[in-house]
Structures are given as structure tokens and as C-alpha cells.
Structure 1
Amino acid sequence: MDYKLDVLQPALEAALGPRIRSLVRDRGEITITVKAADYLEACTQLRDHPALSFEQLMDVCGLDYSAYRDGGASIYAEGPRYCVALHLLSVSKNWRLRVKVFCPDDDLPIVASVNGVWAAANWFEREAFDLFGIVFEGHDDLRRILTDYGFIGHPFRKDFPVSGHVEMRYDPEQKRVIYQPVTIEPREITPRIIREDHYGGLH
């Protein structure tokens, strides 16, 4: 595996050059980070450059690094809050790559859509938009995919309450689904432990 990385790393550095902000080799994988301004161009190079040939997009996911700020020691403690991570596969060269890009604005996280580079990004980007609120500029049909269209908030953000903001139920009088503020009161449940005298053959 290290031999592949020894070939892949210089190929990445030659093809992308200064567009690579960081390159990390860890646990038999390479992760590169690029700026949001270079993201779309870098992805196109990753797909089209003959030395790289990442023809297949395996996954797109959002990340919320806000909790890292509480620890203080992390490299993410002072950086942007939202990140998008891609997992790429080159079938022809039999190697993989992780690409990360941070959204410059925490209040309105935006990065370019790579749906035009890999068609498989379509639903993945919609999922990251739905769950994290990350906007993919240039996406043809960016709308919620897992939550309801009237859903409020983005449930994978670290500050989203565990019980949510609203709940929906069927109202038999109105004969339709309605939304209302959450009525669940938070409570802590401590499990009751029962120990039998001879449990497990112990005396």
C-alpha cells in the first residue's frame, strides 16, 4: 500500500501544485485539503489528469468542526466550522483519495458543486445540504432529500437540539399533517439494575 502512496503523492503534487493546502498520509491513506476557490478546478484535474484518473466519486459528506473549538488543542480549533469531504476512487489505477474543502463563511457555508464533474455527487450534495446546511453553488436541484420539505434546521449540526425544534402529527380534525413546537420534556433516565443472588453461577 505504501508503494501506491509513494507513486500517488508526487502525482498529486505535480498535477495540483499550490492548490494543495495540506497533504496528510495516515493509516495507508492520503488526504488533501484545497481552498474553496480552487475546489472545482482541483476536482476536475483529479478526474481528468492522466496520472491521477479519479473516475469515480464514492461519497460526499459534510463535517461540523464546531465541537473541536471546545478542546482548544486541535488544529481545527481556530479554523472554519464546516467542511466537505470527498472520497474518490481510481478504478484504472486502483487507488483512493480523500479531498477536504472548508467553507469560508460559517454563517452561510458555500462551496462549489462537483455534480458536473461526477454525476454521483447529486444526491450526496443534497444530503449534506439537508443535514448540515452546506450550500453547493451550481447544483441543479439543491433541496432537502431526507427530512420533510417544511423541516426547520439541519439535524447533523452540533448545535441542533437532540429533540429538534418542531414535531409533526396527523390532526384528525383538520385531516392533515400539522407542525407544532416540540412537546417532549427532556429527562434523564437511569437504568434500573437488578442483581440476582446466583446470577451467572456466582455464589
Structure 2
Amino acid sequence: MSARLQKLQETLSLVLGGKLVSITSHVGELTLVCQAESLIQTMTVLRDQDEFRFEQLIDLCGVDYADFGQNDLGENTWSGARYAVVYHLLSVSLNQRLRVRVFANDDFFPMLPTMVQVWPVANWFEREAFDLYGIMFEGHPDLRRLLTDYGFVGHPFRKDFPMIGNVEMRYDPEQQRVIYQPVSIELRNNVPRVIRDEGFHRG
């Protein structure tokens, strides 16, 4: 780790203190994990404090940890929360970056506070995370689907979402409108079976 990155890590730990869950370094970037309850306060400090000045939210994405850490037996070794949101921050004035990850407290109804009041650009990013992962953002001014249509059922980036989807859309000439109906495609396994005989002997 460079001296500059080390100094940033130490300053983050000193200023944010108990709001941090962890802070790690990997391939020249810091990842800060903070508590959901103090997310708005933490992000405001990261934007406004002179030592940080993260003026820009570059990206925001959802993560589903449902199958994270599976071993060779298919057993899930992950014991943390299922859903998280990752924020990528940039300080143009100080030329430094930071990744912030926060876990939603509820796996059934994941919700985090919106960042629109901190960085207005979070608006569409949060709509995308809601659409694809079903993560709700409390206080968002217009939280509705962004990439899928209004009749779409489910959230396609969740690990348990079926590959063929839940509903299909088609035009019905009798009703003269688009209708939604249950998927009529049969489930197929397209993964080829490989049979190996490791114990054969040639004469």
C-alpha cells in the first residue's frame, strides 16, 4: 500500500470511528464498509470534509450475496446479510477514490436511505438497483423501474430469479393490446453431461 493510501485509510478510521464496520485495501483502492444506520451521515462527511472531498458519485450498484462463498459441496459459507449496495466515490480536487459498501439489514425487504440529497446523480443509479435487485431506497423522489417494463415480475439480477423469467409479454390480436401471461417455455438443462472413466486400462 502506498503512503498516500495508508494516510487516507488512517484518516478515515480516525474521522469516522464507530461508523465503520471495516476498511480494507485491494489493488490500490480502499473499500470502506459502514453501518446502514449512519450511511447518510457518513456519506455527507466523505463529501464535505476537507481531508476527503469526494465530490462525485461515479457509480452505485446492488449486490446479491446469496451464493457467495460456496464451497465444493455447494454449501453456502456466507453468514452475512444477503443484499448490499456499493458506492464508488471520486475526489477530483484530491485525485483519490473510495469504494463504500453497506449491507441492508433485512434480506426479505432490503431497504437503505437514498443518497439523492447528497449526490443528485444517485437518482437513476438507485432506480436501477431497485429494478434489478429489489433494493428499496427510503426517501427516493421517484423510485420506479428503469430498465424493465412496468408489468415485469421479479428482479432479474437476484440469484434466485429463474432464467426464463416469470411472465412473458405478447400482443393479443383479439384484445388488440399487449398482454402478460405465465411463461410457457419448458425448463431445459443446456449444460452438457461429461462422463469420464478415469479407471480404464488398455490391453
Shorter-chain TM-score above 0.5: yes
In 2, the alpha carbon distance for the partners of 1:17 and 1:188 equals 50
Task: Give 1:42-191 correspondences, 5 Å limit.
Answer: 42-68=42-68, 70-71=70-71, 77-189=78-190
Q: Distance in 1 between matches of 2:54 and 2:187?
A: 47
Matches within 5 A, 1:12-31: 12-31=12-31
The superposition leaves residues 107-144 of structure 1 with CA deviations (integer Å, 9 ceiling, x where unpaired) of 11011101110011000000000110000011111111
Which letter does structure 1 place at the counterpart of 2:155?
Answer: H
Q: Give SS of 2:87's match.
A: strand
With normalisation by structure 1, the TM-score equals 0.88
- What is the TM-score normalised by the length of structure 2? 0.88
Return the letter of the residue paired with 1:123. Answer: W
Alpha-carbon separation, structure 1, partners of 2:175 and 2:76 = 54
Q: Is the partner of 1:127 in helix, strand or coil?
A: helix
Letter in 1 for 2:135: I
* 8 A contact 1:4–1:95 mirrored in 2: no
Residues matched between the structures, number: 189
Aligned to 2:160, the other structure's residue is in SS state coil
Cα distance in structure 2, aligned partners of 1:70 and 1:103: 21
- What amino acid maps onto 2:188 in structure 1? R
| Superposed displacement of residue 70, structure 1 | 3.9
Distance 2:166 2:70 in 1: 24
CA offsets per residue over residues 82-114 of structure 1, 9 Å max, x none? 000000000000010000000001011011101
Change beyond 3 A, Cα 1:17–1:189: closer
Residue segments in structure 1 that go unaligned for 5+ positions in a row: 192-203
Structure 1, 121-130 or 172-181: larger mean CA deviation: 172-181
**Counterpart Cα distance in 2 of 1:19 and 1:190:** 46
| Separation of aligned partners in 2, 1:103 and 1:46 | 20
Q: Which range moves more in the overlay, 28-37 or 8-17? A: 8-17
Q: Secondary structure at the match of 1:66?
A: coil
- 1:189–1:25: structure 2 CA closer, same or farther, 3 Å change rule? closer
Q: State the 1:189 CA deviation.
A: 4.2
Q: CA RMSD in A?
A: 1.6
Runs of 4+ in 1 over 6 A off after TM superposition: none
- 1:121-176 deviation per Cα after TM superposition (whole angstroms, max 9, x unaligned): 00000000011000001111111101111211111000000000000011112111
What does residue 200 of structure 1 align with?
Answer: none
Go from structure 1 to structure 2 and tell me whether the alpha carbon gap of 1:14 and 1:156 turns closer, same or farther (over 3 Å shift). same
Note the residue ranges of structure 2 that are not aligned, 5 or more in a row: 193-203
Task: Indicate conservation of the 8 Å contact 1:69/1:78, yes or no.
Answer: no
Change (3 A) 1:49 1:118: same
SS at the partner of 1:162?
Answer: coil
CA 1:73–1:190 in 2, change beyond 3 Å: closer, same or farther?
closer
- Once the two structures are TM-superposed, the CA of residue 12 in structure 1 deviates from its matched residue by 1.1
How far apart are the structure 2 equivalents of 1:3 and 1:69? Answer: 32
AA aligned to 1:11 is T
